[in-house]
Amino acid sequence: MSTSNPLPINNGSYLLPSKPHHQQGDQLSIAGKVTMSSTIPAPPIIFQASDNHLEALKGDKANHTELFHKLLSAVHGEPYKLVSISELGSLTDMADHYCALSALSRSVLPPLLESLFNIQINTVTLIDIAVKLRHEILFREAAVFLAGDWLTNRYEEAIAKLNGRHKKAVVAARSATGLMVADRLQFLLRSRRRSSIVSKQLVRLEQCSDANIVSFFGRIYNGCDEDDKDEEAVKRSLGDLMINNLRLHKPPGSPGEGYYENCFLCSEIADEDLPWDRTQKDF
**255 inside domain:** yes
pLDDT at res. 49: 43
pTM for the complete prediction?
Answer: 0.78
| Total domain count, the chain | 2
Residue 281 lies in a domain: no
How far, CA to CA in Å, does 85 sit from each of 22, 59, 138? 29, 20, 12
Q: Is residue 125 part of a domain?
A: no
User: Given this model, what pLDDT does residue 115 score?
Assistant: 87
pLDDT of residue 44: 45
Asked whether 217 and 198 are in contact (CB, 8 A), the reply is no
Q: At what angle do helices 136-147 and 164-191 cross, to 10 degrees?
A: 50
Of 56, 90, 115, which marks where a domain is finished?
Answer: 115
Local structure of 241: helix, strand or coil: coil
Q: How far is CA 244 from the centre of its chain?
A: 15
Residues 195 and 268 in one domain: yes
pLDDT per residue over 175-218, tens digit each? 999 999 999 999 999 999 888 999 999 998 888 766 799 999 99
Choose one of 68, 91, 115: the last residue of a domain: 115
Q: Which residues of the chain have pLDDT under 50?
A: 1-15, 20-50, 56
Of 115, 137, 165, the residue that ends a domain is 115
- 187 and 97, same structural domain? no
Closest C-alpha to 46, from 7, 91, 9, 98: 98
Q: Are residues 69 and 154 in the same domain?
A: no
Does residue 33 fall inside a structural domain? yes
110 and 47 share a domain? yes
| b/e 244-269 (16+ beta carbons within 10 angstroms → b) | eebebbeeeebbbeeebebbbbbbeb
Q: What is the pLDDT of residue 226?
A: 86
The verdict on residue 251 lying in a domain is: yes
Domain range enclosing 26 = 7-115
